[in-house]
Amino acid sequence: MTEVASRPRAEWPSSMQSLLTTIVIAVFVIVFVVQAFQIPSESMENTLLIGDYLLVDKLRYGGGGTWNYLMPYRPVHRGDIIVFRYPLNPTQHFVKRVVGVPGDRVRLIDRQVYVNGTSLRENYVVHSSVVHDVFRDEFPRLNLPVPGLDGAWWLQMKKLVEDGQLIVPQGSYFVLGDNRDESSDSRYWGFVPRENIIGRPLLIYWSLRSIDEDMQVASTPGDKLYHFAYAVSHLFRITRWDRTFRLVN
């Protein structure tokens, strides 16, 4: 009797150890390897849509120091999609595409991006507006302040433009949204510092259509509980199955 009764006590430390090991591994993965993000805006359409849930590879670019020689890190390349801390409010996370790396000379002419005098082939870009915006589409423009333009960036930009081209300084990156006409990006608030970069989107592990789109009605603040119940009961229907488990390129 004594031996049988004491067995649960003997197994308790082992079970606790397994639980703690699982927690430590999970925390390590979340902190150092991958992190989950949700796309909240249309600025990266059609590459990333509102309602896409991403796993972000935090190991891709490393963090400098000795680890860069031991791990398969690589530099940030032009054309990479990155997740980063918004320079004007580091508590927010943005996702954009890198257009200019340190030393590049960037300009837009009639919406076409030129880097170091060569036009970029960007088959992923979407233009959703028929209106020609001089600041947005003919960037950089030093004589045309516009709504949404950060004042400090406006002053900094004037010092970095030569021959109509914006020079990307060391340790910084120039980023744009793929939905070029509906994106708050480096044109309006400046460069992304290297230390602000978290990683790159690796996988869309889930994607949901807008509930309002599915219901074909506009939401109001009082509808939150009803919308939650609708989402739970129609989860299979509002999931974008064609985007789920899709690699991000």
pLDDT single digits (tens) 59-111: 888 755 555 555 567 899 999 999 999 999 999 999 999 999 999 999 999 99
How does DSSP classify residue 33? I
Residue 147 CA to residue 145 CA, distance in Å, equals: 7
Query: How many angstroms separate the first and last alpha carbons of the chain?
Result: 63
Domain ranges of the chain: 30-207
The pLDDT of residue 230 is 65
How does DSSP classify residue 12? H
- Mean pLDDT across the stretch 14-40? 61
Q: What is the pLDDT of residues 101-153, one digit of tens each?
A: 999 999 999 999 999 999 999 999 999 999 999 999 999 998 877 888 999 99
**Structure confidence at residue 1 as a pLDDT band (50, 70, 90):** very low
Task: Provide the annotated active-site residues.
Answer: 43, 96
Judged by average pLDDT, the poorest of 27-36, 50-59, 118-127 is 27-36
Residue 35 CA to residue 46 CA, distance in Å, equals: 22
Q: What is the pLDDT of residues 181-214, one digit of tens each?
A: 999 999 999 999 999 999 999 999 999 887 665 5
The pLDDT of residue 31 is 47
**Structure confidence at residue 28 as a pLDDT band (50, 70, 90):** very low
- Mean pLDDT across the stretch 6-22? 55
Q: Which CATH class is domain 30-207?
A: mainly beta
**Structure confidence at residue 165 as a pLDDT band (50, 70, 90):** very high
**C-alpha dihedral, 92 to 126 to 137 to 78, nearest 10°:** 60
Q: What secondary structure does DSSP assign to 125-187, as a single string?
A: -B----SPPHHHHS---SS---TT--HHHHHHHHHHEETTEEEPPTTEEEEE-SBTTS---HH
The pLDDT of residue 132 is 94
The pLDDT of residue 142 is 87
Nearest C-alpha neighbor of 96 from the set 186, 189, 223: 186
